[in-house]
Structure 1
Amino acid sequence: MDAASIATSSMKTINFLSPSTTQRTTNPTTLTSPRPSNEATKSNVLTFYSNPRSYSISLARCSTKPNTNTEDQNSTFDIDSNPEAPKQAKPNSSDEPSSPLPSSSSSSGGLVFDLGTGNSWDSEDIGSPVVKRFLSDEEERWYMWYYGRSKSNPGLDSIGLAVSSNGVHWERGVGPVQTSRDVGTVMNCSQDWWAFDTFSIRPSEVVIMSSTKVRASSAVYWLYYAGFCSEEAEISGKHFDLGFEYPERFLDENGGFGKIYKSLPGLAISQDGRYWARIEGEHHSGALFDVGSEKEWDSLFIASPQVVFHGSGDLRMYYHSFDVGLGKFSIGIARSRDGIKWVKLGKIIGGGESGAFDELGGLNASVVRSRKDGKYLMAYEGVSGNGERSIGLAVSLDGLNDWTRLQDQVVLEASEANGWDNKGVGSPCLVQMDGEEDEWRVYYKGVGNGGRTGIGMAVSHGNDVKRFRRWTGFHM
């Protein structure tokens, strides 16, 4: 019997739980789901190998139209499996936010997703967009997982899901999802005191996987995320006198110095992108792996673990940390055969030259392997010498070595003084569109006056990715 057959014969099942009771598991067994009664008779079970170390996986494609000559590889498009399920009230992104933006089109250019309404889970802060596009012969569908925090409960950071038919106008929820077709919060911080993700969670990437023995209709979503605990990293010196804090806050709203909280990479899996089960990694806190030793470049934290599927048995994780020795943010890479156990390969992007937009380094990388030429394109957030945040690009032939900045200038920077994102842009998410022009989109977090946040979108000039323009409307 071959290895694949042995693995298949040893498969067990998981019933996914609601976001508020998301479980953490190493060797999964059948779990009882406390879902709403109208879902009690629905089969929503993920089948996967009980030994994740021997789990042979492949990538279920998205953003491409299905090939009728293959094994229905795009059937994961129809992930809303319950068309009759009731939906909670969910305001559109164009609904009135908790505090309105300036009304002029120039000040709101590029903004496609604002803060939620006053009573919603994402009314105080949003960011870390992870955007995926799915195509079928009939329609296109967009999914965006993002981080949010509410005004009424500022200590509760969550990950939520919004959906769209065009990637511009989004449907969102004001609270937790209730059905497999719903939108809203899908994952909260862990309640386990020993866990690495009790303080905050930020989505980094969603990879759609399937086993070599299972058709793509049984594919599952793998969510890689950064989990934060309340442990503060103590750093002395001038490097943090700029007043920005981490996680993901550009400026200290009170005018003081920012704080750095320890973060580690985590993994959760789902059948529908809504109900998640945490997968416990090798670290004692449940994280996938730990920070480096005291003198290594990633000794402080591991953040924004963005994963790219290169081929069977070859996954690459791009993450960032702060190199204390150099006083700069840096981006590194790790490699895995199964997506769970990782081997660090080292740093690939450090700080730029003096006066460059990324003089103090790069962070929050988004890496895409181009369908046109197979090259790897990285959009990342650069930090200048005075703390300004902007977005730059780098390219690599194999995604491992020889990363080269596409140009020394930014491809997207903070807007003018009256813009909604005039204090900085970052946390980019690259999306490659279909078509002859090879157009790209970048979704990003923008910060404006008073630390107000939003999610914007910019598009490339055809296949020229050296400069992006903020989206201002569809053009015929």
Structure 2
Amino acid sequence: MEATCYVNALASFPTILPFNTRTSATFLNYSLSSKPQKVLTHYACSKSCLTTHCFTRRDVAGDAIPESAKGPLDNDDNPTFNSSSTINNKSDFLLSETNTEGLVFDLGCRNSWDSKEIGSPVIRRYLSDDEERWCMWYHGRGDQTCDSIGFAISSNGVHWERGSGPARTTEDVGLVMHCSQDWWAFDTENIRPSDILIMSSNRDRASIGVYWLYYTGFNSEEIDMMTKPPIGNPDRGSGSHQIFRSLPGLAMSQDGKHWARIEGEHHSGALIDVGGEGEWDSTFIASPQVVYHCRNDLRMYYHSFDMQAGCFCIGLARSRDGIKWVKLGKIMGGGLPGSFDEGGVMGPQVVSKIGKESGEGYVMVYEGLKADGSRSIGLAESPDGLKDWRRCSEGVVVLGPSAEKDRWDNGGVGSPSVVRMDGGNEWRLYYRGFGKVGRSGIGMAVSDDGLKTFKRWKGFHL
């Protein structure tokens, strides 16, 4: 659910609020759901989970909504989401019990807004004195041709509560942001989330934060390239290799569900433009991920396709306020011949190191593209997060496609989103996976050695 108008940039510099520390349960500026939490199911470590760990809210599964309760996404003229439609809570394709290792979020039920494709998970874990709350923003596509952004919640990061249609209230889950309807905008065809920060104005109470959503917006301009990369933009997992123009955008919200776009300096409303002719990022800009380094220093990592180098690369921009950005150039390119990221690097997520064993500096998880088009997840590190990015473990993958021919993610893995757990070296890696036929899902892998190695999640240990 989003406002259709653009909002002017905030005058005062925002202060970031840490999202993985204990804070007041009221900092989201709305009441948490009073509904009882679902019972947490435990699985023996030798037994694979037999479900895809998500369920649909009964109150958003097709019941008629009174006119007085409808929101901006509940237009009866909308051909995709008519509130009177019958929702079937089963996917068009059912995975067997033996091929779902690591899968925690499957496609939506038939006729839902996310029944055909999902990906771009952005995961946040919030802790209060009496509750653990997980939030996920992701892109989805149903019978409609464009990608939209949805919202799901969980009490443990494994079993997710989702909506089959638009989220209508502050307690709802489901579709929360459509493509822009303004013909001149940069995001009229597809939108995908890239990062979520929680900020607060210096004038506000520190306990009240504002969600900042950085996302990729696509329009209908197809880029004519002499050298076609093995995947498209947006990436559909398999099939289309079309490259469409994309730029980074920003939206703000007080509850993570009702969004207002923030107009950037570019005439289309985007935050920054592609590079000029001959520059490495002249084709498109995608996957903007923002790191708060210190006051007056925010850093945006993004990827593009360098036509001269013939591979995907990652670049960096800096900002004092999170809205006006200055590009600093390319910081990481494709790997060595024969490596898992020879075809390029994309979808970066950068986090700071914490702890004596980890040392100081930054680490980056990213999606690596092999020459044949297969995708894996890699790891790099830098002492300052600006330059001197070096691949860890001589370019060994952190997580690759499943080697089992019948597994749901044997076609490739990417779009990494890492979450640090309570133990200093314990991490979770959420990712988009897809099979040989391109069917997508969101998976989870775990690590207890500080991002060095990950194993697909198999269940809770008793």
What is aligned with 1:466?
Answer: 452
| Cα distance between partner residues in 2 of 1:204 and 1:385 | 25
Asked if 1:112 corresponds to 2:118, the answer is: no
| Cα distance between partner residues in 2 of 1:435 and 1:354 | 37
| Cα distance between partner residues in 2 of 1:363 and 1:382 | 7
The CA deviation at 1:250 is 2.7
Cα distance 1:82–1:430, how it changes in 2: closer, same or farther (>3 A)? closer
The CA deviation at 1:63 is 1.4
What is aligned with 2:22?
Answer: 65
TM-score by length of 2: 0.85
What is aligned with 2:418?
Answer: 430
What is aligned with 1:12?
Answer: none
- Secondary structure of the corresponding residue to residue 88 of structure 1: helix
CA contact (8 A) 1:120 1:150 kept: yes
Give the partner amino acid of 1:126. Answer: I
The CA deviation at 1:96 is 3.6
Question: How do residues 299-378 of structure 1 correspond to structure 2 at under 5 angstroms?
Answer: 299-372=282-355, 373-378=359-364
| Cα distance between partner residues in 2 of 1:362 and 1:156 | 25
CA contact (8 A) 1:90 1:171 kept: no
What is aligned with 1:187?
Answer: 177
What is aligned with 1:76?
Answer: 27
CA contact (8 A) 2:284 2:304 kept: yes
CA contact (8 A) 1:87 1:179 kept: no
What is aligned with 1:420?
Answer: 408
Give the partner amino acid of 1:364. Answer: G
What is aligned with 1:167?
Answer: 157
CA contact (8 A) 1:367 1:430 kept: no
The CA deviation at 1:88 is 2.6
Question: How do residues 154-303 of structure 1 correspond to structure 2 at under 5 angstroms?
Answer: 155-237=145-227, 239-240=228-229, 242=230, 244-252=231-239, 258-303=241-286
| Cα distance between partner residues in 2 of 1:133 and 1:224 | 18
Asked if 1:446 corresponds to 2:433, the answer is: yes
- Secondary structure of the corresponding residue to residue 169 of structure 2: coil
| 1:149-203 deviation line (CA, Å, top 9, x unaligned) | 002x2x2321000000000000000111111111001100000000000010000
What is aligned with 1:101?
Answer: 95
Asked if 1:138 corresponds to 2:130, the answer is: yes
Cα distance 1:109–1:286, how it changes in 2: closer, same or farther (>3 A)? same
| Cα distance between partner residues in 1 of 2:368 and 2:167 | 35
| Cα distance between partner residues in 2 of 1:161 and 1:167 | 13
What is aligned with 2:46?
Answer: none
| Cα distance between partner residues in 2 of 1:362 and 1:169 | 31
The CA deviation at 1:464 is 3.8
| 1:322-349 deviation line (CA, Å, top 9, x unaligned) | 0000100000110000000000011111
CA contact (8 A) 1:22 1:187 kept: no
| Cα distance between partner residues in 1 of 2:132 and 2:254 | 19
- 2:60 corresponds, among 76, 84, 89, to 89
| Cα distance between partner residues in 1 of 2:456 and 2:317 | 32
| Cα distance between partner residues in 1 of 2:211 and 2:242 | 32
Give the partner amino acid of 1:405. Answer: R
- Secondary structure of the corresponding residue to residue 296 of structure 1: coil
| Cα distance between partner residues in 2 of 1:375 and 1:387 | 31
CA contact (8 A) 1:336 1:342 kept: yes
| Cα distance between partner residues in 2 of 1:113 and 1:81 | 22
The CA deviation at 1:79 is 4.3
Runs of 4+ in 1 over 3 A off after TM superposition: 77-84
The CA deviation at 1:312 is 1.2
| Cα distance between partner residues in 2 of 1:471 and 1:264 | 34
TM-score by length of 1: 0.83
The CA deviation at 1:114 is 0.1
CA contact (8 A) 2:186 2:268 kept: yes
| Cα distance between partner residues in 2 of 1:451 and 1:81 | 36
| Cα distance between partner residues in 2 of 1:319 and 1:90 | 36
Give the partner amino acid of 1:359. Answer: E
Paired residue total: 410
* Larger relative contact order, structure 1 or 2 (CA cutoff 8 Å, min sep 6): 2
Query: How large is the RMSD of aligned CA atoms in angstroms?
Result: 1.9
The CA deviation at 1:369 is 1.6
The CA deviation at 1:396 is 1.3
Cα distance 1:87–1:206, how it changes in 2: closer, same or farther (>3 A)? farther
| 1:58-113 deviation line (CA, Å, top 9, x unaligned) | 111121224xxxxx6x75257445759x983369xxx6423101221xx1100000
The CA deviation at 1:401 is 1.4
| 1:289-313 deviation line (CA, Å, top 9, x unaligned) | 1000111100000000001111111
- 1:457 corresponds, among 444, 453, 462, to 444
- Secondary structure of the corresponding residue to residue 152 of structure 2: strand
- Structure 1 unaligned spans of 5+: 1-17, 28-48, 67-71
What is aligned with 1:9?
Answer: none
Asked if 1:22 corresponds to 2:22, the answer is: no
- Secondary structure of the corresponding residue to residue 315 of structure 1: strand
- Structure 2 unaligned spans of 5+: 36-56, 63-88
Identical pairs, percent = 56
| Cα distance between partner residues in 2 of 1:464 and 1:472 | 19
